C-alpha cells in the first residue's frame, strides 16, 4: 500500500507525526519513505510493506497528512504507474528537469581519452546551446585487454572543463560501488562545477549489489540501461532496485537487444518499447541510438542509421537521447565506429528537435481538446 502525502508536508509537523504514529503501530507492516523533489514542490510517499491485506485503505486515506492511499499489487512498486496513473513523473537535478514530458539530449564521448578531445566536445556543446553530455571514465569491456577507461585520473579535468563550458550534467557509467565515492570526492574537491548522472551499463543491469549501492545514495540520479539479453520486465526491476533502496530519481534507457537478427546493426533496435516503458512506469525514457546501431552506415537518402533510429525513438516520445560523438572517430579508443562527428552535431540536433516537435503534434492529434 502507498500513502501519498499532501504536497510540501513538513516532517516536523503535527499531521506528519500523527500519521507516522498510526502507520508505525500497524502489525506486520514496515514503512519506507520516498521523497520526490519536483520543479515546484516536494512530494512525500510512505510505502507500507509486508502484510497490508488487513490494513483499512479508507483509514489510511483519512490520516491528517495523507492526500491519497493506493493499494499496490503489481510490480515496480515505487517506479510503476499502477492503476491511478496520475502521479507525477520525473525529478529536477542540478537545475535540469527530467520527466516523461521533458526532452534532453546527451551528446558526448563514449570514453574520455584526453583533455583536448573533452574540451573540443564541450566547446561544441556550448556553441550549440547544450548543457548535457556523456563522458565515460570507467569502461566495462568485453575483452580484458581492451582499454578500460582512464578511471578516476581523468575526473578532475573532465569536471573542471565541464564547469568552464557550462555543462550541468554528465552521464558517466560506474561499474563498481567505489566509483561513486571517487566521483563524489573529485566533484567536492572542485566545488561541484557540474553534476553527474550515474549510468548503469547494460552488462551490469543485474549486478544487484551495484544497483543497491547506487540506490542507497541520493546525491546523484541514475540512468539504468536495459539489459541486452533479458526481458523488459527484468530490466525494469533493475531500475526498481534503486528505488527500493531510496533513490527513485531514475531514468530508463533503451539501447538495443543482443540478437543476430539485428545484423548488420550491432543490436536489435528496441525503441518500439518507448511508450511501453512510459505506460508501465513513471520513469523518463532515454534511447541510445549509438550502442544499438553501432555503425556509421546510412541510407541512400543521406541520413545515417543512427539519426534515423534516434528520430524513431523521439517521435515515439523518448525523453532523452544518449549519443556518441567524437572529434576524430578514427582515433577514438572505444566505439569509434559508431561515433558521429562533431561537425554533424548541429544537423543531428536539428533533426531530433524536429522529431520532438512532431511528437508534440502527434499528441494533439490523438488527444483532441
Q: Which does 225 bind (CB under 5 to 8 A by kind): Mn ion, ligand PEP, none?
A: ligand PEP
**CA–CA separation, 297 and 335 (whole Å):** 14
* Burial classification of residue 71, based on how many CB atoms lie within 10 Å of its CB (0-12 exposed, 13-18 middle, 19 or more buried): middle
Closest-by-Cβ residue to ligand PEP is 201
**CA–CA separation, 352 and 312 (whole Å):** 9
Which residue lies nearer to Mn ion by CB, 282 or 291?
291
Binding string, 289-328, against Mn ion, x = CB under 5 A? ----------------------------------------
Shortest gap between Cβ of 128 and Mn ion (angstroms)? 22
- Contact between 173 and Mn ion by CB under 5 A: the answer reads no
Residues binding ligand PEP: number (CB under 6 A): 10
Per CB under 6 A, the list member of 19, 52, 194, 202 interacting with ligand PEP is: 202
Binding string, 300-339, against ligand PEP, x = CB under 6 A? ----------------------------------------
Q: Which residue has the cell 510503476?
A: 80
Shortest gap between Cβ of 173 and ligand PEP (angstroms)? 6
Chain positions 95 to 124 lying near Mn ion, rule: CB under 5 A, are: 110
Q: Which does 202 bind (CB under 5 to 8 A by kind): Mn ion, ligand PEP, none?
A: ligand PEP
- Contact between 107 and ligand PEP by CB under 6 A: the answer reads no
- Contact between 294 and ligand PEP by CB under 6 A: the answer reads no
- Contact between 281 and ligand PEP by CB under 6 A: the answer reads no
Pairing of strands 66-70, 222-225: unpaired
Binding string, 138-177, against ligand PEP, x = CB under 6 A? -----------------------------------x----
Shortest gap between Cβ of 165 and ligand PEP (angstroms)? 21
Per CB under 6 A, the list member of 201, 284, 289, 327 interacting with ligand PEP is: 201
Which residue lies nearer to ligand PEP by CB, 173 or 305?
173
Shortest gap between Cβ of 77 and ligand PEP (angstroms)? 25
Q: Which does 44 bind (CB under 5 to 8 A by kind): ligand PEP, Mn ion, none?
A: none
Tell me, letter by letter, the H, E, C secondary structure of the chain.
CEEEECCCCCCCCHHHHHHHHHHHCCCCEEEEEEEEECCCCEEEEEEEEECCCCCCHHHHHCCCCEEEEECCCCCCCCCECCCCCCCCCCEEECCEEECCCCCEEEEEECCCCCHHHHHHHHHHHHHCCCCEEEECCCCCCCCCCCCCCCHHHHHHHHHHHHHHCCCCEEEEECCCHHHHHHHHHHHHHCCCCCEEEEEECHHHCCCHHHHHHHHHCCCCCEEEECCCCCCHHHHHHHHHHHHHCCCCCEEEEECCECCHHHCCCCCECCHHHHHHHHHHECCCEEECHHHHHCCCCECCCCCEHHHHHHHHHHHCCCCEEEEEEECCHHHCCCCHHHCEEHHHHHHHHHHHHHHHHHHHHHHHHHCCC
Part in contact with ligand PEP (CB under 6 A); list of ranges 56-64, 120-128, 196-204, 341-349: 196-204
Binding residues for ligand PEP, rule: CB under 6 A, are 110, 136, 173, 201-203, 225, 255, 288, 291
Binding residues for Mn ion, rule: CB under 5 A, are 110, 335
Amino acid at each position: 500500500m502507498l500513502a501519498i502525502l499532501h504536497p510540501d508536508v513538513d516532517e516536523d509537523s503535527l499531521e506528519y507525526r500523527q500519521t507516522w504514529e498510526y502507520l508505525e503501530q500497524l502489525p506486520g507492516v514496515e514503512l519506507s519513505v520516498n521523497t520526490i523533489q519536483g520543479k515546484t514542490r516536494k512530494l512525500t510517499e510512505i510505502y507500507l510493506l509486508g502484510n497490508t491485506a488487513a490494513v483499512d485503505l479508507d483509514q489510511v486515506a483519512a490520516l491528517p497528512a495523507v492526500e491519497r492511499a493506493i493499494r499496490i499489487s503489481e510490480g515496480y512498486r515505487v517506479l510503476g504507474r499502477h492503476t491511478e496513473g496520475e502521479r507525477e513523473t520525473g525529478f529536477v537535478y542540478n537545475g535540469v528537469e527530467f520527466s516523461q514530458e521533458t526532452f534532453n539530449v546527451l551528446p558526448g564521448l563514449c570514453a574520455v581519452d584526453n583533455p583536448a578531445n573533452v574540451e573540443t566536445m564541450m566547446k561544441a556543446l556550448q556553441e550549440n546551446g547544450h548543457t548535457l553530455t556523456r563522458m565515460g571514465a570507467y569502461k566495462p569491456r568485453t575483452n580484458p585487454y581492451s582499454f578500460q577507461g582512464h578511471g578516476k585520473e581523468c575526473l578532475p579535468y573532465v569536471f573542471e572543463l565541464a564547469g568552464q563550458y557550462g555543462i550541468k550534467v554528465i552521464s558517466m557509467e560506474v561499474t563498481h560501488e567505489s566509483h561513486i565515492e571517487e566521483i563524489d570526492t573529485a566533484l567536492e574537491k572542485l566545488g561541484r562545477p557540474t553534476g553527474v548522472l550515474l549510468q548503469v551499463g547494460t552488462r551490469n543491469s543485474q549486478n544487484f549489489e551495484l544497483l543497491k549501492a547506487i540506490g542507497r545514495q541520493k546525491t546523484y540520479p541514475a540512468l539504468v540501461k536495459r539489459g541486452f539479453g533479458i526481458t523488459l520486465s527484468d530490466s525494469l526491476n533493475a531500475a526498481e532496485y534503486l528505488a527500493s533502496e531510496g533513490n527513485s530519481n531514475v531514468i530508463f534507457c533503451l539501447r538495443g537487444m543482443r540478437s543476430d537478427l539485428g545484423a548488420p546493426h550491432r543490436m536489435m533496435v528496441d525503441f518500439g518499447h518507448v511508450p511501453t516503458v512510459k505506460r508501465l512506469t513513471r520513469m523518463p525514457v532515454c534511447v541510445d541510438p549509438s550502442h544499438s546501431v553501432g555503425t556509421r552506415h546510412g541510407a541512400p537518402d543521406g541520413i545515417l542509421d543512427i539519426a534515423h533510429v534516434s528520430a524513431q525513438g523521439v517521435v515515439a516520445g523518448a525523453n532523452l537521447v544518449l549519443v556518441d560523438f567524437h572529434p576524430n572517430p578514427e582515433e577514438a579508443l572505444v566505439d569509434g565506429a559508431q561515433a558521429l562527428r562533431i561537425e554533424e552535431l548541429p544537423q543531428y540536433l536539428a533533426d531530433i528537435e524536429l522529431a520532438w516537435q512532431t511528437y508534440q503534434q502527434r499528441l494533439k492529434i490523438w488527444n483532441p481538446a
